[in-house]
Amino acid sequence: MELYTFFRSSTSFRLRIALAYKGLAWTPKYVSLPKMAHHDPTYLAKNPQGLVPALIDEAGRVFTQSMAMIEYLDDVHPEPALMPKGAEEKWYVRAVSQIIGCEIHPLNNVRVLKYLKAHCGMDDAGVNRQWYPHWIAEGMKSLEAFLLSQQRVGRYCLGDQFTMADVCLIPQVFNAQRFDCDLSAYPTVMRVFEAGAALPAVRSVEPSTQADAF
């Protein structure tokens, strides 16, 4: 398999974690977002959305959208599982994943940050010290409250089972730390993050390990 990835992309990081956790072999294909390589016609022919990650299997089929890709991998390579078996537990894992992937991540996506600077009159300080921390705080407060209310957290988001929820949580915290966000108000989130980030599979694919890191 080939994974089109960018080292600082949190969605690409999700896929790297999932592939490493399952012990699947993959070849990285680096797509530089700062250099706009995701808009190159050759890449757009593979992924018309012009986003990363994109996964191409041995048959040449292209898969996109990180959470859908993780569930696909879990269906075709079920062990070790990243999704629980029960319907209620699946709902919970998807809910945590979507709080991160649909409510926190989009507001702090690189495309959004660039647009704020280019078209909304915000400078680096406004984006990095006001916009980004504000929406991280809003999202993390919601995530912390949800995790506590559900009373399902153990070592990871769902007891002691490492799942897609953790795969989504870890890159989001990595990014928040990169922007020096204060995360001390979210002890449950951070406890789960620290447990997951310590896994060898996660450590092997974190941003600093990637050949395109700069």
Whether 111 is covered by a domain: the verdict is yes
Domain extent at residue 70: 2-80
- Say yes or no: 134 and 30 in one domain: no
Q: Mark whether 141 and 76 lie in a shared domain.
A: no
Q: Give bridge partners of residue 54 from the DSSP assignment.
A: 4, 64
Residues 93 and 195 in one domain: yes
Judgement on whether residues 177 and 94 belong to the same structural domain of the protein: yes
Domain limit, last residue, from 47, 80, 113: 80
Asked if the structure places residue 214 within a domain, the reply is no
Rounded CA-CA distance 164/59 in Å is 25
What is the count of structural domains for the chain?
2
Average pLDDT over residues 65-92: 98
Question: Is residue 208 domain-resident?
Answer: no
Residue 209 lies in a domain: no
Return the pLDDT at 26.
97
The domain that contains 57 carries what CATH number?
Answer: 3.40.30.10
Q: Cα separation of 150 and 138, whole Å?
A: 19
Same domain, 76 and 92: no
Say what the pLDDT of residue 74 is: 98
Looking at the chain, how many residues does it have? 214
Say if residue 70 is in the same domain as residue 92. Answer: no
- Tell me, yes or no, whether 213 lies in a domain: no
Per-residue confidence (pLDDT) for residue 110, from 0 to 100? 85
Contact between 18 and 202 (Cβ < 8 Å): no
pLDDT recorded at residue 181: 97
164-173: per-residue pLDDT in tens?
A: 999 999 999 9
Instruction: Please classify residue 100 by burial: count the beta carbons closer than 10 Å to its beta carbon, then call 0-12 exposed, 13-18 middle and 19+ buried.
Output: buried
Predicted local confidence at residue 144, as pLDDT: 98
pLDDT for the residue 138: 97
**Pair 119, 167 in one domain:** yes
Domain end (from 55, 80, 105): 80
- Last residue in a domain, options 30, 53, 80: 80
For residue 96, what is the domain's CATH number? 1.20.1050.10
pLDDT at residue 109, rounded to an integer: 87
How many CA atoms lie within 13 Å of 113's alpha carbon, on the beta-carbon side?
A: 19
Residue 161 counted as domain residue: yes
pLDDT interval class at 118 (50, 70, 90): very high
Query: What is the model's pTM?
Result: 0.96
